[in-house]
């Protein structure tokens, strides 16, 4: 019984110590605020994780919080809300609102536009889980809902709603581009 209590206490202690660690495994500096004209002309270097608020003309930091700007870049594992004309990231969890959004490795959340700002394009080269809403949505591996005029996914596990919906893992598109498949003008799905 004593062994179980000792092991349980050690496990709880280890979990409590690691729960406060940042998402990025490498030790790095962090700051609650960032202001930047470019990634190299800023209050903090671009390697500093911003845990709070960033206002950018063009910013590029790992982040955990709110980022407002013209161009918001997030490196490494980042999370939060990015609102800009153009957002880009390595790996992001949260919301990106902009006229164009790009995700390199993985994205979990919502990419699109808000209020009266339409999103022209969302592009995800890696794995995307969530909602993409824009005029053109492109994804390598997509799980969730794409809403737009043109929706394309190489590997879709979800639903597409738009005028042109293409899921390359859907049997209709097996012989593309040699033979043009019948289109799905309003809905498309693959699970």
DSSP string, 97-136: ESSEEEEEEEEEEEEE--TT----EEEEEEEEEEEEESSE
* pLDDT score recorded for residue 11: 34
Give tens-digit pLDDT for 129-169: 999 999 999 999 999 999 999 999 999 999 999 999 988 88
* pLDDT score recorded for residue 18: 38
CA distance 168 to 191: 12
CA distance 29 to 171: 49
Give tens-digit pLDDT for 2-44: 443 333 333 333 333 333 445 555 557 999 999 999 999 999 9
* pLDDT score recorded for residue 169: 86
Cα–chain center distance at 90? 8
Joined together, the tokens standing for residue 147 give 């809403």
* pLDDT score recorded for residue 17: 37
* pLDDT score recorded for residue 114: 79
Mean pLDDT over each residue of the chain, to the nearest integer: 84
CA distance 155 to 89: 21
Higher pLDDT, residue 186 or 34: 34
* pLDDT score recorded for residue 180: 55
Exposure on the CB side of residue 162, measured as CA atoms within 13 A: 23
Whether 134 and 117 have beta carbons less than 8 Å apart is answered as: no
CA distance 135 to 28: 38
**Residue linked to tokens 């004309």:** 85
CA distance 86 to 58: 9
CA distance 114 to 25: 33
Give tens-digit pLDDT for 174-183: 666 665 554 5
Exposure on the CB side of residue 99, measured as CA atoms within 13 A: 5
Mean of pLDDT values over 51-77:
97
Please, which pLDDT band fits residue 172 given cuts at 50, 70 and 90?
Answer: low
Whether 125 and 110 have beta carbons less than 8 Å apart is answered as: no
Higher pLDDT, residue 10 or 104: 104
Residues paired with residue 108 on neighbouring β-strands, in sequence order: 93, 129
């Amino acid at each position: 019984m004593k062994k179980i209590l000792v092991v349980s206490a050690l496990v709880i202690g280890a979990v409590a110590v690691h729960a406060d660690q940042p998402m990025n495994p490498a030790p790095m500096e962090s700051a609650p605020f960032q202001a930047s004209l470019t990634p190299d002309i800023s209050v903090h270097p671009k390697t500093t994780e911003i845990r709070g608020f960033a206002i950018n003309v063009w910013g590029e930091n790992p982040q955990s919080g709110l980022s407002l700007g013209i161009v918001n870049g997030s490196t490494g594992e980042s999370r939060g809300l990015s609102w800009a004309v153009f957002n880009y990231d390595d790996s992001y969890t949260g919301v990106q609102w902009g006229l164009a959004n790009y995700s390199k490795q993985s994205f979990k959340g919502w990419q699109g536009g808000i209020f009266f700002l339409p999103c022209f394009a969302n592009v995800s080269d890696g794995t995307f889980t969530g909602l993409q809403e824009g005029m053109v949505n492109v994804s390598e591996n997509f799980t969730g809902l794409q809403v737009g005029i043109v929706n394309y996914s190489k590997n879709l596990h979800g639903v597409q709603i738009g005028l042109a919906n293409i899921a390359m893992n859907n049997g209709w598109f097996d012989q593309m581009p040699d033979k043009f498949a019948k289109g799905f003008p309003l809905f498309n799905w693959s699970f």
